[in-house]
């Protein structure tokens, strides 16, 4: 699609981040922070290879950061703080050589 930016923050949205987000391959920015979203970050997030900014902080996301995040080699900003994520940070984060901001704090999961 031609959609390059998805800004749905501060809306009290509920539910999960749909796996179909991976179909929006033109996305460069996804900001779905400060909602009430639940579930896990879908592995399909790894299909957004042109994305530079991903913000899902301030939700109630669970599980781990998917290893597919390592496919997002143009990612500069990754904000996943203030959820209930658990597990370890995937080593694939090291593949994100353009990453300038990584916020993953306050995940008591």
pLDDT at 109 over 90: no
pLDDT at 34 over 90: yes
Write the pLDDT tens digit of every residue in 39-68.
Answer: 999 999 999 999 999 999 999 999 999 999
Choose among 92, 71, 77: nearest CA to 31.
77
Distance CA 57, CA 23 (A): 22
pTM of the complete model beyond 0.85:
yes
Give the position of tokens 């949205």: 13
Residue 69: Cβ within 10 Å count: 24
Distance CA 27, CA 53 (A): 9
**Residue 77 and residue 104 in contact, taking contact as beta carbons nearer than 8 Å:** no
- H or E element that contains 45: none
């Amino acid at each position: 699609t031609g959609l390059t930016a998805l800004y749905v923050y501060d809306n009290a949205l509920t539910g999960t981040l749909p796996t179909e987000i991976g179909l929006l391959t033109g996305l460069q920015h996804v900001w779905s922070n400060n909602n009430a979203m639940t579930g896990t970050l879908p592995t399909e997030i790894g299909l957004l290879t042109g994305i530079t900014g991903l913000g899902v902080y301030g939700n109630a996301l669970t599980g781990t950061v998917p290893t597919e995040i390592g496919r997002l080699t143009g990612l500069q900003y990754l904000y996943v703080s203030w959820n209930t994520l658990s597990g370890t940070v995937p080593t694939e984060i090291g593949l994100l050589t353009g990453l300038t901001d990584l916020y993953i704090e306050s995940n008591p999961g």
